[in-house]
Structure 1
Amino acid sequence: MSHRQYVVQTTDVEKLNVRLLSISFSKDEKDWRSVLHTHPFTELFFVVAGEGKFLFREKSYQIKTGDLVIIPPYMEHTEQSTRNMPLQYYVIGLEGISFQPESGKGGVQVFCNFDNLSLISDLFAQMLYEVRNQSYGSDKICQNLLEVLILRIIRSQHLIPVAISPTHMTKECAQIKEYLDANYADQITLDTLTELTHMNKYYMAHSFARYTGQSPIQYLNQRRLQAACTLLEDTDHSISSIAESVGFSSQSYFTQAFRKKYGTTPIRYRQENRAATD
């Protein structure tokens, strides 16, 4: 009989003050349109199958099986599958923690590929199983599995956990965001939003930027440009008609804003995206 005993080494690991908010498993079946959105908490997005893109406000990244994306609170994002290679993925919502590289450089979004994919995938799967079945101790098991997952991510990817306090968007800021999302095609000014919320104009703009990272007018223009992209891809409307329909005061201003954000003209964008889908 062979026998080998290992002594557990004690390490000084700081307690993780993190709470599991939600977990889901999804498969892109083209039954809904992917749009940029935000959450007031950190998300872990883990790809178990398929290929595609993960998009933020200014950048997009190619993702594939085994990739993990860490999305900080209030960071606009969405995902898109490659044709005939639909993404399948887990998403976990976390409260109380975010991450940054040990170097302190780079963005707070982390993209990586693990050596032991089955181990990482199993941790997600076990948490989902516990949440679905809700048996005795499921919440405790999920919390412990979550901490194991986070420690493995930190160790593998050389990250530093950063404690963050829950900062939920105020009712007024949420009202502004909802109004802009629904009425972006209208002529909207800061005065319009001031009348809507009965807030001081400059305090209102500062508060909105604190939660979204953009001023109300920047967010409004971004929302208009997103709508314009959809029209450029899916319709044959003229550029001037699209500019007017999404709320821009002139075609020249629309083209200028479009080029600044996407690095190309609306016409070129239409040609490239039509060619990609043909």
Structure 2
Amino acid sequence: MKRYMNIERQEADALLSDFEIHCSYYHIIEAEDEWIGYSHCHKTYELAYVLSGEGEYFGNDSSTKIMEGDLIITPPYCEHFEKEYPDTSFSIIFLNVIHTGKQTEEIEKLFGEQPFKISLKEKKVKNLMNNLSYELYVQQPGFYSMIMQYLKELYIFIYRHIKTDDNAVPEIKKYQRGQSAEITNKVKEYVLMNLSTKINIGKMAEHFFYHPKYLNTIIRTQTGETLTNYIQSIRIQEACKLLSSDMSVSNIAEATGFSSVPYFYRCFINRMSVTPNQYRISLNLAKVEPYDEENERKT
């Protein structure tokens, strides 16, 4: 039996045909050892497709879990980064794209001004993205034209998901305050465990699998202080507790991670509006150490 039918151009075809996609940059990550990307933004849209594994996406002080088959679309000038979850063999392809042509404005209206995630787990899409990755790797003659063709196909899948499923574009949620408080408490525990040592912000952020800038954002949102100032406030709080003992001021400064006694005095006065000795007197302790203020000014 033969079937005959006319093929007519639909609204979607007009939209998707009358514009061009140009790939200006690509990056493929095959992560190991709990990879964390750096916080950055672009002048173009970025498409990030998870080829395998699981991780987390952070953009505009928001976050969402990402896994194999997820596509994140990040608009221009939106600061963002990604991280890998431990033991997941995380692999992700990043494509920075520029739109040109008559329908550019309509396409970018479709994408909106905030980052969003859609799930494209169909086998066709996975094969398409694997083929695209292969073309980027080998770069045989004509590879750029192949990439443009694959991107056009990808945009058709994106359009179908957005237009046919109201739940296809989940909002990337703001970080919940409860979660933020939990991380703040964990940061405090980390500082207390390393109280007498100099704390490297980068290594501490890596310990929690966060980018330093994002961890700083969480702490600032929760406490009103930068991460550095929050760490210092914890040190001073612990110093206040130790000043109720017979421990010397110099030993307290060392125990709470201050690089020198004069620096400890300056930080303490800035926080408490009194010197450590004056604070100790206020606790009605008999032992008060003399402190050479002239020497402090010289240091």
TM-score (normalised: structure 2): 0.50
Indicate the SS of the match to 1:158.
Answer: helix
Question: C-alpha separation between the residues in 2 aligned to 1:5 and 1:263?
Answer: 68
Pick aligned residue for 1:89 from 81, 89, 92: 92
Residue 25 of structure 2 aligns with an amino acid whose one-letter code is S
Question: C-alpha separation between the residues in 1 aligned to 2:130 and 2:37?
Answer: 24
Residue 10 of structure 1 aligns with an amino acid whose one-letter code is R
Residues 1-278 of structure 1: pairs in structure 2 closer than 5 A? 2-12=1-11, 13-14=14-15, 15-30=18-33, 33-96=36-99, 99-101=108-110, 108-114=114-120, 116-158=121-163, 238=195, 259-262=219-222, 266=230
- 1:223-269 alpha-carbon deviations (Å, 9 max, x no partner): xxxxxxxx979875559x7699xxxxxxxxxxx986542468847xx
Q: Is the 8 A contact 1:100 1:108 kept in 2?
A: no
- 1:94-134 alpha-carbon deviations (Å, 9 max, x no partner): 013674558x7xx52111213x5221122222223333333
* RMSD of aligned Cα (Å): 4.1
Question: C-alpha separation between the residues in 2 aligned to 1:138 and 1:152?
Answer: 21
Q: Is the 8 A contact 1:44 1:93 kept in 2?
A: yes
Distance 1:7 1:39, change over 3 A: same
Question: C-alpha separation between the residues in 1 aligned to 2:46 and 2:160?
Answer: 18
Offset, 1:54:
0.5
Indicate the SS of the match to 1:38.
Answer: coil
Residue 113 of structure 1 aligns with an amino acid whose one-letter code is S
Alignment length (residue pairs):
184
- Structure 1 gaps of 5+ residues are 160-230, 245-255, 271-278
Offset, 1:33:
4.3
- Structure 2 gaps of 5+ residues are 165-186, 202-215, 235-299
Offset, 1:70:
0.5
Residue 155 of structure 2 aligns with an amino acid whose one-letter code is I
Question: C-alpha separation between the residues in 1 aligned to 2:155 and 2:91?
Answer: 21
Q: Is the 8 A contact 2:34 2:86 kept in 1?
A: no
Q: Is the 8 A contact 1:55 1:78 kept in 2?
A: yes
Higher Cα radius of gyration: 2
Offset, 1:39:
2.1
Distance 1:242 1:261, change over 3 A: farther
Residue 25 of structure 1 aligns with an amino acid whose one-letter code is I
Corresponding residue number in structure 1 for 2:297: none
Q: Percent identity?
A: 20
